[in-house]
């Protein structure tokens, strides 16, 4: 009898689970939105759900398929969760800018109480995001960038010493790691006010904490997958977003530096100074706990993205010696004009900008821009039934758009000519989204460009880069990371000029 009862209970539970997991299957059909079918538990792609393949590539296949059928949108399922996929650049603009009020947030998970560092500008939403964004925006003006330039420049000197020593050892370097150390030094200096010494010291605590932040162990991968498909379940899971040692390290480092500066009345004109000003501005109405979270997101959003773009750009330059020489000529000319690497000199490096832009086209830091509907949203120009309820996930597939031959003929070819002013004007503005777009565009864009250009100018003026026998080219993407990363790193051979 007991066995029968257990079997009956198990069957009822399985049925309930099955019902729950498939209860969204008609979500798009009910709204007259073209879509992929839902496989129970899996959604539209097991590869995407389990991160077995680079999600940018899976999205590219969906995008190409939907576009070939003339769809502006496409419904897909991540597990049971309906997700609207945008496949038309005019619609991209509508969603990111015109109808921003309906699709304002990213829907990424945060928990203010248990995880104060997660309540940062990237994750928070609604009115709270709006207020914080407007307070932080003045921190990133070009005037502020100029006053921080000396800190970036100092880290570049250290990078030059580091690479010089590597050349003496044979010059076979893992560029992703070197640039990771460099941007750790830069952001630690500007956002936390400390010398991380990631380039000088192989055991730098800041660097190892940075590695731990982005590490995805198998348990965390499962928790992330649950959060993706059933966001309501995430707060009930005991696993913290950040390991406790990492969380304590960043909060302690930030607070110690704020105290030190206030006591000693030191000013460095960096992000932390600007955050202290906000803290002391009683009209800003910010709680003290909000500030370390912002320094943390500058670090997190800044260090891997900038370092990956710079090292990948160097990989492309190594495989395109003609482009590398042309860029070196520009660097030589501009540095001779300005008497070295100055803030003003960076603005004259237009071909360098083209090379960076083309790198970020082929290797965007985020394969897609996540958004979530914040207010019920009638899809413009569609059936009156095409109303997305608040909470629906939306994805703008950056990588797929960047690889669309309509905008970029022969899309897999690295060609900085695509980014001359004339060529940029010849295609839709929203066909290029490496920093996102609209009111939630990357706030650190100027800082990132300053940092990338400064380091590239130094490297090209002092060194030459070549493919390493160990390098894999064309490079492939790691499937599991949130910020795109190349499989096997970015190995290069570097020689003194």
364 in Cβ contact with 402 (< 8 Å): yes
CB-wise, 241 or 360, nearer to ligand HEM? 360
On whether 442 is known to bind a ligand per the annotation, the reply is yes
Near ligand HEM by CB under 6 A, which window of 174-182, 248-256, 429-437, 485-493? 429-437
297 contacts ligand HEM (rule: CB under 6 A): yes
Give the distance, in angstroms, between the CA of residue 10 and the centroid of all CA atoms in the same chain.
Answer: 43
Q: Pick from 436, 450, 465, 481: which binds ligand HEM (CB under 6 A)?
A: 436
Q: Does 419 interact with ligand HEM (rule: CB under 6 A)?
A: no
Give the C-alpha distances (Å, rounded to integers) separating 485 from 52, 321, 482, 488: 14, 23, 9, 9
Q: Is residue 27 part of the contact set for ligand HEM (CB under 6 A)? A: no
Cα–Cα dist 310/495, whole Å: 18
Q: Which is nearer to ligand HEM, 43 or 444 (CB)?
A: 444
Residues 81-140 that bind ligand HEM (CB under 6 A): 121-122, 133
C-beta of residue 78 within 8 angstroms of C-beta of residue 229: yes
Q: CA–CA distance from 305 to each of 298, 435, 441, 483, 485 (Å)?
A: 11, 10, 14, 7, 9
Q: How many residues bind ligand HEM (CB under 6 A)?
A: 25
Please identify which residue in the block is written with the tokens 């997305």: 388
Among the listed ranges 274-282, 295-303, 329-337, 453-461, the one in contact with ligand HEM (CB under 6 A) is 295-303
Rg (CA), the chain: 24
Of 468 and 490, the one with the shorter C-beta distance to ligand HEM is: 490
Query: Cα–Cα distance between 274 and 278 in angstroms, integer?
Result: 6
Position 442 contacts ligand HEM (CB under 6 A): yes
366 binds ligand HEM (CB under 6 A): yes
Which of residues 227 and 366 has its CB atom nearest to ligand HEM in the complex? 366
Q: How many residues does the chain have?
A: 497
Q: Is 368 in the site for ligand HEM (CB under 6 A)?
A: no
CA distance 10 to 281: 59
If one asks whether residue 323 binds ligand HEM (CB under 6 A), the answer comes out as: no
Closest CA to 409 of 426, 421, 396: 426
Q: Is position 437 an interface residue for ligand HEM (rule: CB under 6 A)?
A: yes
Pick from 435, 457, 481, 489: which binds ligand HEM (CB under 6 A)? 435
Distance of closest approach, residue 192 Cβ to ligand HEM, in angstroms: 12
Single out the residue of 430, 401, 402, 424 nearest to residue 414, CA to CA: 402
Q: Which residue positions form the known binding site? A: 442
Contact residues toward ligand HEM (CB under 6 A) are 121-122, 133, 297-298, 301-302, 305-306, 309, 360, 365-366, 369, 434-437, 440-444, 447-448
Q: Which residue positions form the known binding site for heme? A: 442
């Amino acid at each position: 009898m007991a066995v029968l009862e257990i079997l009956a209970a198990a069957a009822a539970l399985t049925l309930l689970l099955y019902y729950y997991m498939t209860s969204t299957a008609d979500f798009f059909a009910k709204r007259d939105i073209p879509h992929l079918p839902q496989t129970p538990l899996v959604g539209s792609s097991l590869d995407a759900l389990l991160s077995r393949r680079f999600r940018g590539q899976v999205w590219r296949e969906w995008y190409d398929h939907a576009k070939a059928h003339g769809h502006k949108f496409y419904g897909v399922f991540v597990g049971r969760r309906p997700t609207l996929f945008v496949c038309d650049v005019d619609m991209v603009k509508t969603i990111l800018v015109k109808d921003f009020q309906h699709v304002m947030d990213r829907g990424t998970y945060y928990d203010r109480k248990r995880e104060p560092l997660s309540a940062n500008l990237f994750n928070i939403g609604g009115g709270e995001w709006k207020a914080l964004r407007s307070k932080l925006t003045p921190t990133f003006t070009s005037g502020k960038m100029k006053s921080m330039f000396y800190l970036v420049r100092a880290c570049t000197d250290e990078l030059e010493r580091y690479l010089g020593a590597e050349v003496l050892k044979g010059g076979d370097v893992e560029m992703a790691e070197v640039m990771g150390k460099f941007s750790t030094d830069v952001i630690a200096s500007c956002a936390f006010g400390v010398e991380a010494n990631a380039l000088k010291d192989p055991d730098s605590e800041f660097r190892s904490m940075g590695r731990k932040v982005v590490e995805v162990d198998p348990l965390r991968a499962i928790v992330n997958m649950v959060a993706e498909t059933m966001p309501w379940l995430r707060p009930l899971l005991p696993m913290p977003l950040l390991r406790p040692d990492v969380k304590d390290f960043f909060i302690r480092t930030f607070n110690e530096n704020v105290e030190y500066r206030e006591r000693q009345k030191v000013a460095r004109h960096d992000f932390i100074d600007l955050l202290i000003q906000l803290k002391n501005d009683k009209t800003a109405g910010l709680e003290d706990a909000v500030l370390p979270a912002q320094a943390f997101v500058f670090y997190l959003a800044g260090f891997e993205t900038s370092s990956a773009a710079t090292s990948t750009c160097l990989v492309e330059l190594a495989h395109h010696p003609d482009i590398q020489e042309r860029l070196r000529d520009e660097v030589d000319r501009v540095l001779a004009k300005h008497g070295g690497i100055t803030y003003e000199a960076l603005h004259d490096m237009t071909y360098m900008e083209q090379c960076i832009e083309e790198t970020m086209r082929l290797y965007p830091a985020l394969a897609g821009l996540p958004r979530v509907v914040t207010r019920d949203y009638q899809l413009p120009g569609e059936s009156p039934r095409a109303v997305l309820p608040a909470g629906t996930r939306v994805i703008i597939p950056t990588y797929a758009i960047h690889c669309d031959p309509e905008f970029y003929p022969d899309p897999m070819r690295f060609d900085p000519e695509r980014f001359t002013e004339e060529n940029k004007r010849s295609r839709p503005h929203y066909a290029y989204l490496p920093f996102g777009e609209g009111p939630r565009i990357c706030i650190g864009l100027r800082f990132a460009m300053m940092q990338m250009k400064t380091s590239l100018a130094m490297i090209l003026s002092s060194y030459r880069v070549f493919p390493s026998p160990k390098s894999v080219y064309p490079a492939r993407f790691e499937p599991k990371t949130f910020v795109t990363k190349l499989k096997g790193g970015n190995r290069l051979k570097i020689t003194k000029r």
